[in-house]
Chain A
Amino acid sequence: MTTVDAHRTVEAVWRIEAPRLIAGLAGLVRDVGAAEELAQDALVAALEQWPSEGVPSNPGAWLMAVGKRRAVDLIRRDQRLRRKTAELGRELEISGGDRTEAEYDAVVSDEIEDDLLRLAFVSCHPVLTTEARVALTLRLLGGLTTDEIARAFLVSEATVAQRIVRAKRALADAKVPFEAPEPAERPARLASVLEVIYLIFNEGYAATAGDDWVRPTLCEEALRVGRVLVGLMPAEPEVHGLVALMEVQASRLRARVGADGQPVRLLDQDRRRWDRLLIRRGLAALERAAALGETAGPYAVQAAIAACHARARTPGETDWARIAILYAALARLTPSPVVELNRAVALGMALGPRAGLELVDQLVDDPALKAYHLLPSVRGDLLARLGREAEAKAEFERAATLTRNARERELLLGRAAEMAEDGS
């Protein structure tokens, strides 16, 4: 095996093993930051040894064995960690080293699922900034390297590394325990986890920055972490709801980009390009969410909306009335002018542009939408359909100045150019 091949293999193993490795080590040392560093040490050891000695038959157990040995050393040296682990009554075998792989497997796998769940909650802890939560989630639960995260978010690797260092420090300063939240806190903490995953997905689905309109890799990473969460929390309807939403939205990824990289709006998409496998998976996840929850949560409602589009063979078949009702339900769950704006779009389709415009006009003074490019974009669309082209043109142009995505700006300027100047 060449060194390059070996490195690629180590990376692939890391990708698969990192979440369980870090979770298992955090379960031992009760400290996510320390666990991440121990896992990193194990990775370095693998990079040193595997190219010459070959990849072990059970690479996950190998990494865990190295990580655990270092954990024992660390606990011996580190008073703080010693206290933490002693408080929990965890006795660590100091002998280390000479255990068999099977024994290591047994020690860790008993609790690994619980540890992964703790890791998810700690990665998205409210003491962390959103950026830190995103970076930690991708690093710890997604198994991505800092370099991969940096490329995904178009920032430098140093920036991502810095975010992770600060995040670990923030967790240590706030003395965040390596525990899942208490029942009373759980709904809010779960919402934070789901929010972070959906944020990652959305950055891939409608990039807020950069030259590309979509970045499918980010969507795939978010989906992967979402599917992992389903396994960890199978009884939580909103986890299924979020996965349903992401599966259905991801089914459109290829259709959202035109031949020249420009964005293609939902109603203009070639629906034959939608990925039917992902739609089927999304609809199945939505059914599971519905079977678990008495009333649908915000993600399940959004998934139900996405499913309305997925079921329509042509744009004309879309059940806009149902979509408008679902947006009304969403507005009750999570009141927001953005939801209202979407409801206006649905109303505009179900009842005609006048009904949509009436609702949009109630939103124009909302400070939350002041810099939101989709407000003038939607308003422009409704005005255009009413034949008020000069007003529509101004709205499209305003929308173009507000978006940060280059491709979307082109689309909006294109629509502005189509409008007649004189408003006739």
Chain B
Amino acid sequence: MRFMLLLKGDPVGELPSSELIGAMISFQEELTKAGVLLAAEGLYDSSFGARVIYDSSTRRKTVVDGPFTEAKELVAGFLLIQVGSREEAIEWAKRCPVEKAVEGRPDHVEAVVEVRQVGDIDDLPDATDDQRAAERQQRADRGRR
């Protein structure tokens, strides 16, 4: 079973401290040594990002530049792991040192690790056989680049 651990937060204007970087590197090393880590990436904060928003009443799409508020809903990075169960994924999420991202801040902030299982088009009942085939083709093509 594959799970994505989504690290939530959006430290606009501040780059991760060396302490946070060190803690994340140790955590990834721990995951690697346990044989469960498949991939990991970190994201720049939302001031470098943008949103494309579709409005159903105007039927138009607008582009909104970052930064965005609601920091605890924003993704700052992810870890892709392969584990035996949902519970194991949660156990690993508990060990992720997200506290290092918010420690020492005077205001009350939450640091969140969201645990989500990676999906498979075979599990979607509404997908047609052609759609399944097309999705697989795309995966195959992506893998070649």
Contacts and interface: CB of A to CB of B under 8 A. Distances in A.
Residue among A8, A12, A227 with most chain B CB within 10 A = A12
Given A12-B90, A227-B32, A272 B38 contact: no
Q: Is the interface of B mostly helix, strand, loop or mixed?
A: helix
Interface string A7-27: 011011101100000000000
A16 B30 CA distance: 10
A238 B22 CA distance: 31
A277 interface: yes
Given A272-B140, A280-B143, A228 B87 contact: no
B59 interface: no
Contacts of A223: 35, 82
Q: Is the interface of A mostly helix, strand, loop or mixed?
A: helix
A231 B88 contact: no
A16 B140 contact: no
Contacts, number: 67
Interface residues of A, number: 28
Given A224-B36, A274-B140, A276-B140, A12 B82 contact: no
Contacts of B47: none
Nearest to A7: B87
Contact of A8 (B38, B87, B140, B142): B87
Contacts of B40: none
A273 interface: yes
B128 interface: no
Given A224-B35, A277-B38, A15 B84 contact: yes
B133 interface: yes
A12 B91 CA distance: 7
B143 A228 contact: no
Contacts of A277: 38-39, 143
A70 interface: no
B136 A231 contact: no
A16 B144 CA distance: 34
Nearest to B133: A272
A214 to B, nearest CB: 15
B143 A16 contact: no
Given A16-B92, A272-B139, A228 B34 contact: yes
Given A277-B39, A280-B143, A281-B38, A231 B91 contact: no
Contact of A225 (B35, B88, B137, B142): B35
A270 interface: yes
B35 A228 contact: yes
A122 interface: no
B131 interface: no
Contacts of A274: 140, 143
B33 interface: yes
B116 to A, nearest CB: 17
Contact of B88 (A16, A271, A279): A16
Given A220-B82, A272-B133, A276-B143, A226 B35 contact: yes
Contacts of B140: 271-272, 274, 276, 313
Interface string A274-311: 10110111000000000000000000000000000000
A227 B29 CA distance: 12
B87 to A, nearest CB: 4
B88 A15 contact: yes
Nearest to A227: B35
A23 to B, nearest CB: 12
Contacts of A8: 85, 87
Contact of B32 (A11, A13, A231): A231
12 contacts: A8-B87, A11-B85, A16-B92, A220-B84, A223-B82, A224-B36, A224-B82, A225-B35, A272-B139, A276-B139, A279-B143, A280-B143
Interface of A: 8-9, 11-13, 15-16, 59, 217, 220, 223-228, 231, 270-274, 276-277, 279-281, 313
Interface of B: 32-36, 38-39, 82-85, 87-88, 90-92, 133, 136-137, 139-140, 142-144
